[in-house]
Structure 1
Amino acid sequence: MTALDCDVLVIGGGIVGMSTAYAITRAAPGTRVTVLEKEAGPARHQTGRNSGVIHSGIYYRPGSLKARFAARGAAEMVKFCAEHGIPHEVTGKLIVATERSELPRLHGLVQRGRENGIPVRELGPAQIAEYEPWVRGLAAIHVGTTGVCDFGAVAARLARLAQDAGASVRYGARVRTIGRRPSAVAVRTADGTVLRARALVNCAGLHCDRVARLAGDDPGMRIVPFRGEYYELVPSRASLVNGLVYPVPDPAFPFLGVHLTRGIDGGVHIGPNAVPALAREGYAWHTVRPQELAGTLAYPGSWRIARRHWRYGAGELRRSLSKRAFTDAVRRLLPDVTADDLIAAPAGVRAQAVLPDGTLVDDFLISQSPRIVHVLNAPSPAATASLPIGREVARRVLETLGAGRVRGAR
């Protein structure tokens, strides 16, 4: 039998991949883990390009992986950041209804939060002003367990902890081919290196469906990338926002709408909107990768999304192309803002799994095949939930190896 290079290969060095590697080393000390990341460092895509919010779990269907893992993960993330000196703050947040038509949905979130075990407080206009004097709304709920942190720093720390426990992290290692045998999985990287392992974990984020197909598995979905565009308040106007302020979300979409986020650096990010990206790593309109775009356009689910939600999409597109339209969306929450108060900030891309019928996958999606675990849908709140997600993925791959049970992370 050909010698194996390690026990588990993890493809993807974002926060979920690093959390998985860390969880494996804690659950089964001595298990040889290698992380393959195509970029020159960790957390270069979804993990490092978001608003840094530690989500409470209030939005998600009771009993779903998102609801369970986000609520648990929020507490664990705060504890992890505190133990490892990573900048963070538990700020709480407001979810604000600005129109009467939103009030039933706001009350529904109160009930959902309580079902998910999340403390919420209902507020009237005067109480909104106690938290956010410049925000206007008819009613709101306050969620005390929401916070902010530096998820890129968390991913880097998880990588270091995994390495200290014996794991190997290889940057600049783009996976080109995957081969499977009854007793092993083999991966060839772009530089020709071949690595063999007993099992493989696919945490490739924006490319997870492609990695699944490289392994010979049908993921049953496709990643359709959505770019989230942000502005930030000019420093002289940052005092308009004290913490986190969200609109009432549309339940038909996994996007939370344009919101206000005071980050750990004191700056205030505003966004994101959600528009189709023209490449999987398409952080600007001018970033176009024809082969990737053609794949998205050829996928039946993409057209079914467009037909079903064209009105919503048209509004998002308008806010992308018009700063004035974006400002108008912000002014629903923060009336004193003007277009001159907003400056462009770096965008992110959401790796959204879409089914062939056009359904946007609403929960985390983890699947298995012989010797492989695929993480196929892990957009926000995956960063918040990364520690419990990592343990769940580790549990599954270690069961495949017969290597024992996963202990809790600290």
Structure 2
Amino acid sequence: MQTTDYLIIGAGIIGLTVARELQRREPGAQVTIIDKEPTPGQHTSGRNSGVLHSGIYYTADSLKARFTRDGNTAWQTFCEQRSLPLDRCGKLIVARNEEEHARLVTLEERGAANGVAVQRLDEAETRAIEPRARTIGHALFVPSTATVDPKSLINAQQADFTAAGGTLLCAHPYRGNHGNNVVQAGSERIQAGTIINCAGLHADRAAHDFGFGQRYTLLPFKGLYRYADPDTEAPRTHIYPVPDLRHPFLGVHFTRTVWA
């Protein structure tokens, strides 16, 4: 049976970044990551638009707002240091009718409270940023919103993790908890000093095995992407509608992607 100081379930972007932080804090610790796929980041982490949001959608007293704002800055710095793809294109949030102006004001106030720069634009200023964008009355522009290539981030984090002595066990799916901090990973058993659950959409099942979150179940939603024709001129910035803040969805939007 293998042993390790830290065992992380899941080699997505969360699992890899947690592993790197553990290595920074405890350089001598043994850190092991298990994942069911043959390579890291094969699910949500590697299959998203790569947009680095700014943190204006959430109330400033929430962890989501702070983590989004600080994560935006940290990932942009990481990309700069590693010469990874980074597009600081910003984001337009446009109004479809005058009734949405109140929600635009709320987003503007949340941005200010969370230390995120937000610019109010009129219709002409909006078109100056993106000629194809239309808004009623005014729009918001968030300069700090950017785009990265998720797979480049995952590959860089994986390289750093293994270079620092970490153990990455791909094709080792989490199979269950055997007690005494022993986890079944594929056909192997691993005993860990600490087990960290970063299992993505299966995190609820893993948590239940250890007696946590029994009342909670993850309810995932799948987003669909339609790519523009290669000869279509890309928008100069992300374009989003004003969201209904009662729901965790941002509506149909246009995004700029980057390619490694």
Compute the TM-score of the two structures, normalised by the length of structure 1: 0.61
State how far apart, in whole Å, the 2-side matches of 1:20 and 1:265 are: 25
State how far apart, in whole Å, the 2-side matches of 1:148 and 1:175 are: 32
State how far apart, in whole Å, the 1-side matches of 2:83 and 2:40 are: 18
Shift of 1:102: 0.7
Partner of 1:221: 216
The percentage of aligned residue pairs carrying the same residue is 37
State how far apart, in whole Å, the 2-side matches of 1:23 and 1:116 are: 25
Shift of 1:80: 0.2
Q: Which amino acid aligns with 1:28?
A: E
Q: Does 1:262 align with 2:250?
A: no
Q: Which amino acid aligns with 2:242?
A: V
Shift of 1:254: 1.1
Query: What does residue range 122-201 of structure 1 map to in structure 2 within 5 Å?
Result: 122-138=120-136, 139-181=138-180, 185-190=181-186, 192-201=187-196
Q: Which amino acid aligns with 1:209?
A: D
Q: Which amino acid aligns with 1:90?
A: R
Q: Which amino acid aligns with 2:61?
A: G
Q: 1:151 to 1:219 in 2, by over 3 A?
A: farther
Partner of 2:67: 69
Structure 1 SS opposite 2:134: coil
Q: Which amino acid aligns with 1:212?
A: A
Return 5+ residue gaps in structure 1 as ranges: 267-410
State how far apart, in whole Å, the 2-side matches of 1:193 and 1:265 are: 37
Q: Which amino acid aligns with 2:152?
A: A
Partner of 1:83: 81
State how far apart, in whole Å, the 2-side matches of 1:235 and 1:156 are: 26
Partner of 1:208: 203
Q: Which amino acid aligns with 1:144?
A: P
Instruction: Select the structure with the greater relative contact order (CA < 8 A; seq sep ≥ 6).
Output: 2
The match for 1:246 among 240, 243, 248 is 240
8 Å Cα contact 2:149-2:259 kept in structure 1: no
Q: Which amino acid aligns with 2:72?
A: A
Structure 1 SS opposite 2:104: helix
Q: Which amino acid aligns with 2:224?
A: E
In the comparison of the two structures, how many residue pairs are matched? 259
Q: Which amino acid aligns with 1:29?
A: P
Partner of 2:26: 28
Shift of 1:30: 0.7
The match for 1:236 among 231, 235, 247 is 231
Q: Which amino acid aligns with 1:251?
A: L
State how far apart, in whole Å, the 2-side matches of 1:186 and 1:48 are: 29
Q: Please give the per-residue CA displacement for 1:62-117, whole angstroms capped at 9, x wherever unaligned.
A: 12111111111111101101111211111111111111111100111000100000
8 Å Cα contact 1:30-1:166 kept in structure 2: no
Partner of 2:35: 37
Shift of 1:186: 0.5
State how far apart, in whole Å, the 1-side matches of 2:178 and 2:112 are: 47
Structure 2 SS opposite 1:104: helix
Q: Please give the per-residue CA displacement for 1:121-168, whole angstroms capped at 9, x wherever unaligned.
A: 101100001101011111211101010001221122112211111110
Shift of 1:236: 2.7
Return 5+ residue gaps in structure 2 as ranges: none
Structure 2 SS opposite 1:35: strand
Shift of 1:238: 2.8
Structure 1 SS opposite 2:254: strand
State how far apart, in whole Å, the 2-side matches of 1:14 and 1:167 are: 15
